[in-house]
Structure 1
Amino acid sequence: MTSEQSTAEPVPGLFTFVLHTHLPWLAHHGRWPVGEEWLYQSWSAAYLPLVRVLRTLAAENRQHLLTLGITPVVAAQLDDPYCLQGMHHWVANWRLRAREAATMRTPTGPSPASAPEALRRFGSRELAEADRELAEFETLWRHGGSPVLRELIDGDVIELLGGPLAHPFQPLLTPRLRDFALREGLADAGQRFAHQPAGIWAPECAYAPGMESDYAAAGVGHFMVDGPSLHGDTALGRPVADSPVVAFGRDLTVSYRVWSPRSGYPGHAAYRDFHTYDHATGLKPARVTGRNVPSEEKAPYDPERAAAAIEVHVADFVATVRDRLLSESARIGRPAHVIAAFDTELFGHWWYEGPQWLEQVLRALPAAGIQVGTLADALAAGYVGQPVELPPSSWGSGKDWQVWSGEQVADLVRLNTEVVDTALSTVDKALANSQGSRMVVADQILRETLLTVSSDWPFMVSKDSAADYARYRAHLHAHATREIADALASGRTEHAERLAAGWNRADGLFGALDARRLPSP
């Protein structure tokens, strides 16, 4: 746990930040408004600043700062040569847009934030930030994200959480494919980071009774669920049923203080507005200003005003954590464990000031006598209660499965079932005749199948967020699966090999995926 020594009176218990880093596979599948741009924005606005914060704190000899989930599909993109080149171009283009703003002499839009003088001030700051990121990317990231993250893992700065390949909604997945995706995902992390995760962030925090047995068999010792899965009692991790696998729950009281469906720090008037663009440069030069202020009336962004708001929100969060630890410890009669869990992309991408806030919080918590550690630290220190029977659950709307299994996405559920059945039957027959040799065609069938069943597509449809793109992607990967499988099943082996190679040029992630490791029927 953190080595920071505090002069404040110690607060009982342990606090943990858990960040979940995930995007779907975006490379080669569109650019704007949904596609690779989403990856590069998140990489630039969230992943680089987060690593900067963690490296800065590590240089101060701070360790065990947070638990960081990295899904295999994100890790694959951060290491992919095509994505690395695209990211380099994106940051360089951002620098050009910032330079244009810094020299702007004419109004570029109706918003006060797009007035020439305000845009020039904003552009100058943005240019300095782009220069810094370009230098950091060229120095640290050009050979991929794995070496960058491995340094933080090796230095005990973070605990790594893994997950199954392609982020499927596991409760709805055929057990054979679910087991394969999980084991391959853990192995993928082991190869990239030289650390096989002992814990996972289950996609969408989704759980179905019995999954704990699969986790135990795969070597997973702990996983995250949402607070309601534990009936709101998240003060301790809980072994699930009669297994040794521990479920940790997100504390909604603390987590929603930062980010909630209705309120939270990022909506403060002083912070940069995510939705308001200067359309000439593509930059975001406005502050929130007010919840009901239209974009054309947004005030220019003021970093000093934002810095003052960060200071207030750091103090508020520390007080919230302190009060929660004290109250939960008193309630259960022993030191409690409080977990705040968020999507990593909140910090920087959705909430520009998020990385600054996080850095200051990670200093302020131990200074206030609050012990900070990881989920692994909580296990080692015995923050574990009595076994619990978990209900079918998720962290989606309603805390059940409706986002991924409801009527709105019934067609995608049927599509997934059909594609998985086709893929498994075809691969089983092909492997039976392969005499033990690796079959890249079977590998690609499973790769496309896993991309088809990604939980992202029904989520985007249910939330009406780029729903057309999501349906397109689900059906595209389903088509790829069927096309290759049909050729292979009909004996057109060379044609199947050509098809598999063609699809692999777009969907070549998880190069170590091996269909021979698919569990037997």
Structure 2
Amino acid sequence: MNEREGTFCLVLHSHLPWLAHHGSWPVGEEWLYQAWAHSYLPVVDLLRRFADEGRRDVLTLGVTPVLAAQLDDPYSLRAFHDWLGHWRLRAEHAATLWPGDPLLSDLAAAEHRTAMGALDEFEGRWRHGFSPILRSLVDSDVVELLGGPLTHPFQPLLDERVRSFALSGGLSDTALRTGRRPEGIWAPECGYAPGMERGYADAGVRRFLVDGPSLRGDTSAARMVGESDVVAFGRDLEVTYRVWSPKAGYPGHAAYRDFHTWAHEVGLKPSRVTGKHIEPADKAPYDPALAADTLRLHVKDFVDTVVTRLRELRAQHGREALVVAAYDTELFGHWWHEGPAWLEGVLRALPEAGVRVTTLRGAVEAGHVAGPVELPASSWGSGKDWRVWDGEQVADMVAANAELQRRLLAVDVAGQGRDAVADQLVTEALLALSSDWAFMVTKDSAADYARRRASEHTARFDELVRLRAAGDPNATARAAAFGALARPFGHLDARGLGGNA
């Protein structure tokens, strides 16, 4: 094709809250290890193969500091290795339970091969953690890396001093792990409040994501924000929702592997979706061949959707247009079993259809920037406002977080040297402020776990503040005990919160 259709940017947001040492099943470490095995391993493998082929600027990859810390943590690495071994054993056991059913027998064999492959991949490439792998992807320019605040807090609800500390610390953490300080971020939950771009500019952030309605639906180009030189990219919902729509998105197709139905005796998922209103016991066995046929149709449908959208935008604006589709990385593999194969299919097919595939940085370099816009208070959550994190269901948590920040900023963190107790109490406060807890409560997804986690970290913070203020000799030991459970950021220096680091 002689004339390019336009530009497409795929953005993946990789994030889980701190889960190590905080429960296992059904919420806790199991969540981390499933996402690691079924999303992070295959997505990284895909990106490495693209890099080996010499492809550059394939996609924009967000990795939150708190997730990167877990994927580097020695405890998590050991525990995940054990988990992979148990996965292999579960698959072996499944083969003995399902010998008379060809589909289920083949599924058990395929599961065993996948588990063995994951073990080999982990032992060969991941044994020293995620950072060496991530650095290689960044250095090869196969991805543009996005950073973010330390523990993924909902930034509009933060005091400006806490917001600045969390963001600066998060960008520094990514620089330590990869050798490069990101120029772009995935703002947690795409949360934005007017004026935040000034803090971004001060931190060296040049681009960030908002949801499409924040740009009043005109996502055909990035926009300068206010009077700053910071650029906002909007998620194109017409394209994005072809995949990520709860009512009609691809992952809910009857042929795909069902996420919610388990064979609990072996811990595997043996069914296909079959139908939206089919009881788990009545669902049909998963058929990989049927899923593969469906996947090819969905790759073609998505490519056609992107091309059609780009042509419509060109006709509307009289220039080559941009489409940004953004998703949680965990959708691909963990939630949607066939997702990694779909990703590969789309990223190979789009250039063949005449679409430039690049990163957010590449889109700026290609000139897809229009000028300035005043953004409203917004997020990518329900209603595209703040209701998920600031609504009636979590009003008590919002009030508790505001009070927590008040107490945090009242702590005297000044000093001539590092203070392990102060560092840990700041860490506990930031963990309590994670956006995940309010999201889980509002969405009624493990709400009890979320409330407990927020309360636990707040209680640890208060205990350390009390012990430190009293000069109690047990303060250091208690800080070390809490740090053994949650100390994601060894470089975190509490003095930075008071501007004294």
TM-score, normalised via structure 2 length: 0.98
Are the counterparts in 1 of residues 413 and 494 from structure 2 also a CA contact under 8 Å?
no
Match of 2:308 among 308, 323, 343: 323
Structure 1 residue 54 corresponds to structure 2 residue 47: yes
Kindly state the Cα deviation for residue 308 of structure 1 after the two structures are TM-superposed: 0.5
Out of 173, 179, 182, the position equivalent to 1:197 is 182
Alignment counterpart, residue 296 of structure 2, candidates 308, 311, 319: 311
**2:468 aligned with 1:509, yes or no?**
no
Q: Distance in 2 between matches of 1:159 and 1:117?
A: 44
Find 1:440's aligned residue among 420, 423, 430: 420
2:478 pairs with one of 499, 514, 517: 499
* Alignment counterpart, residue 433 of structure 2, candidates 440, 450, 453: 453
Residue 161 (structure 1) shift? 0.1
User: Does 2:166 match 1:173?
Assistant: no
Change (3 A) 1:10 1:354: farther
The alpha carbon displacement at 1:117 in A equals: 4.3
Q: Tell me which residue corresponds to 2:460.
A: 480
Contact 1:11 1:326 in 2 (8 A): no
Aligned-partner Cα distance in 2 for 1:485–1:240 = 39
Q: Once the 2 structures are TM-superposed, how far is the Cα of residue 489 of structure 1 from its aligned partner?
A: 1.6
Does structure 2 retain, via aligned residues, the 8 Å contact 1:11–1:325? no
The answer for the alignment partner of 1:262 in structure 2 is 247
CA contact (8 A) 1:10 1:370 kept: no
Aligned match of 2:270: 285
Per-residue deviation, 1:172 = 0.4
In the TM superposition, 1:77-476 aligns within 5 A as: 77-104=70-97, 116-426=101-411, 429-431=412-414, 434=415, 436-476=416-456
The answer for the alignment partner of 2:38 in structure 1 is 45
Q: Kindly provide the CA deviation profile for residues 368-399 of structure 1, in whole angstroms up to 9, marking residues without a partner as x.
A: 11110000001111110010000000001010
Q: Which amino acid aligns with 2:149?
A: P
Q: Contact 2:194–2:375 (CA<8 Å) still a contact in 1?
A: yes
Summarize the Cα distance change of 1:215–1:519 in structure 2 as closer, same or farther, 3 Å threshold. farther
3-state SS, counterpart of residue 238 of structure 1: strand
- Inter-partner Cα distance in structure 2 for 1:254 and 1:246: 21
1:470 Cα deviation from its structure 2 partner: 0.2
Paired residue type of 2:478: L
Q: How many residues align?
A: 500
Structure 2 counterpart of 1:180, one-letter code: F
Cα distance in 2 between the residues matched to 1:273 and 1:80? 31
Q: Which string of whole-angstrom CA distances, capped at 9 and with x for unpartnered residues, describes residues 390-409 of structure 1?
A: 00000010100111111110
CA distance in 1, matches of 2:56, 2:257: 30
- 4+ long deviations beyond 4 Å: none
Distance 1:168 1:209 in 2: 17
User: What is the DSSP-based 3-state SS (H/G/I as helix, E as strand, rest coil) of the residue aligned with 1:15?
Assistant: strand
**Aligned equivalents of 1:190 and 1:222: distance in 2?**
17
Q: Summarize deviations over 1:444-488 as a string: whole Å, max 9, x none.
A: 111000001100000000000000000000000000000000111
Task: Answer whether contact 2:65 2:147 (CA < 8 A) is retained.
Answer: yes
Q: Is the 8 A contact 1:9 1:368 kept in 2?
A: no
Extract unaligned runs of 5+ from structure 1: 1-7, 107-114
Structure 2: gaps (5+ residues): none
Query: Contact 1:13/1:371 (CA < 8 Å) preserved in 2?
Result: yes
Tell me by how many angstroms 1:10 deviates.
Answer: 3.4
Name whichever of 291-300 and 247-256 sits farther off: 291-300
- The whole-number CA distance in structure 2 between the counterparts of 1:518 and 1:423 is 9
Q: CA deviation at 1:119?
A: 2.7
For residues 35-86 of structure 1, the C-alpha deviation after alignment (integer angstroms, 9 at most, x for no partner) is 0000000000000010111122222222111000000010000100000011
Q: Is the 8 A contact 2:55 2:142 kept in 1?
A: yes
**1:419 touches 1:449 (CA, 8 Å); kept in 2?**
yes
SS of equivalent to 2:145: strand
CA contact (8 A) 2:413 2:497 kept: no
Question: Residue 11 of structure 1: CA displacement?
Answer: 3.0
Aligned-pair distance for 1:118?
Answer: 3.5
CA shift at 1:13, angstroms? 2.1
Of the structure 1 ranges 390-399 and 56-65, higher mean CA displacement relative to structure 2 is found in 56-65
